[in-house]
Amino acid sequence: MMDIKLLRRSLLRWFSRAKRPLPWRQTREAYAIWVSEMMLQQTTVATVIPYYERFMKRFPVLTSLAASREDEVLALWSGLGYYSRARNLRRAAQELIEHHGGRFPRDVGTAMTLRGVGRYTASAVTSMAYGTRAAVVDGNVRRVLSRLHAARNLAEAPAQHQAQELLSRRAPGSWNEAMMELGATVCTPKKPRCENCPISTHCLGRAHPEHWSEGKPRRRSIAISVEMALVRREGSVLLTRNPAGGLMGGLFELPHSGLPRKGGAIKDLRGCYRGILDVDAEAAVAFRHTVTHHRIQATVFKATLLPRAKPGGARFHSIKDALALPLGGLTRKALRAVGLMPG
């Protein structure tokens, strides 16, 4: 039989000395933890750190985020992807001001009423900030539980039940962090470092750890060819804004064709901007970019604005001004590739 008390002591002792010094671990303030958890959804820790630090410098408290403009939030989020997270974060901050006295709720159920906050985020924030006894189950925790109990294809309900049973009564927030840290750094999907695991003696699946963890089936990727026009004038570049909704909706990009749109993508750059742009025949640069499950092959062509042409909603912006816009990652990469933006 598993000695749960010993397992808890072993894991918490290991976490106290092995945890990574991440910036959001320097505080127990609910707002800061919530921002980090929203950013970390489907995004690696290494990618999130600089975004988190810039975001918290600009919006150090909840009231500053609630009073912000959406474009300002999206600009700071630019390049991080999954922009609905940024919109939800801002709107939920306003909900907290309007309905919760400017404080993140202490209980999971109330927290889950906020825009973009599900069980995982609600449990993570309330446990770490307030010590609420709510277990978190993400991909890392589910993998640890599967191996610990030698249970393949562990479903959501039993995983949540097992996590709640193991949860430390004394330090639920630290326990949740420890379980996630173990899965991220030791009990990894492939080649887990069982010899360094603080709870390996309790693990029923340690003889064949990879058998008990099965990765999610990958969503089928979609290949897209995108053509982009680089139009320069006196140190500025022409930018247009994607329609709301759809892939990279609401972000500023170079004039382009090929992105999925309602009613279908317009494939041909020259056809799309006929009578507006004179597009070079040869490409200036080509690169690859990934957005969610879309694999984009992007080609950038230099172009000029035709005399008396009216480019719709497109406008010229300096590179400095462009950095303050919600600029799409695709265009950021294009501008870096042609040497107009620092890496």
> Is 300 part of a structural domain of the chain?
yes
Residues 49 and 140 reside in one and the same domain: yes
Beta strands (DSSP E) in the chain are: 222-233, 236-241, 252-253, 256-257, 277-279, 285-291, 294-305, 315-318
pLDDT of 200 over the 60 cut: yes
Instruction: Give the end of a domain, one of 188, 212, 236.
Output: 212
- Mark whether 238 and 271 lie in a shared domain: yes
Specify the number of domains making up the chain. 2
CB 163 within 8 A of CB 135: yes
Residue 266's pLDDT is what?
58
Tell me: pLDDT of 132 over 90.
yes
**Catalytic residue from among 29, 37, 165, 195:** 37
Please determine, for residue 100, whether its predicted confidence score (pLDDT) is greater than 80: yes
Measured CA to CA, the distance from residue 217 to residue 240 in angstroms comes to: 36
Whether 37 is catalytic is: yes
pLDDT at 244 over 90: no
pLDDT of residue 293: 81
- 233-243 mean pLDDT: 91
Per-residue confidence band for 81, with pLDDT thresholds at 50, 70 and 90: confident
Is 217 part of any domain?
Answer: no
Looking at the fold, whether 182 and 228 belong to one and the same domain comes out as no
Q: Are residues 272 and 188 in the same domain?
A: no
Same domain, 250 and 297: yes
Check whether 25 has a pLDDT greater than 90: yes
Residue 336 has pLDDT above 80, yes or no: yes
User: How many other β-carbons are positioned within 10 Å of the β-carbon of residue 124?
Assistant: 26
Same domain, 235 and 297: yes
Residue 245 belongs to a domain with what CATH number?
A: 3.90.79.10
* Co-location of 83 and 102 in the same domain: yes
pLDDT at 262: 57
Domain-embedded: residue 342: no
Q: Are residues 66 and 191 in the same domain?
A: yes
Q: What is the pLDDT of residue 268?
A: 86
263 has a pLDDT exceeding 60 = no
| 314: in domain | yes
Indicate if 200 and 286 belong to the same structural domain.
no
Please give the pLDDT value at position 343: 65
Q: Are residues 205 and 309 in the same domain?
A: no
Work out the burial of residue 27: count CB atoms within 10 Å of its CB; fewer than 13 is exposed, 13-18 middle, 19 or more buried.
middle
Structural domain contains residue 207: yes
Domain contains 251: yes
Percent of the chain with pLDDT over 70: 96
Q: What is the mean pLDDT of the chain?
A: 92
Domain range for 281: 222-337
72 occurs within a structural domain: yes
CA–CA distances in Å: residue 137 to residues 159, 183, 201, 230:
7, 11, 22, 45
Residue 154 resides in a domain: yes
Residue 79 CA to chain centroid, in angstroms? 10
Q: What is the pLDDT of residue 168?
A: 95
Q: Pick from 191, 212, 233: which residue ends a domain?
A: 212
Do residues 318 and 246 touch, judged by C-beta distance below 8 A?
no
Global pTM value = 0.88
Decide which of 212, 247, 280 is a domain's last residue.
212
192 shares its domain with 76 = yes
Least confident of 77-91, 132-146, 217-231, 294-308: 217-231
98 three-state secondary structure: helix
Q: Same domain, yes or no, for 122 and 59?
A: yes
CATH of the domain at 161: 1.10.340.30
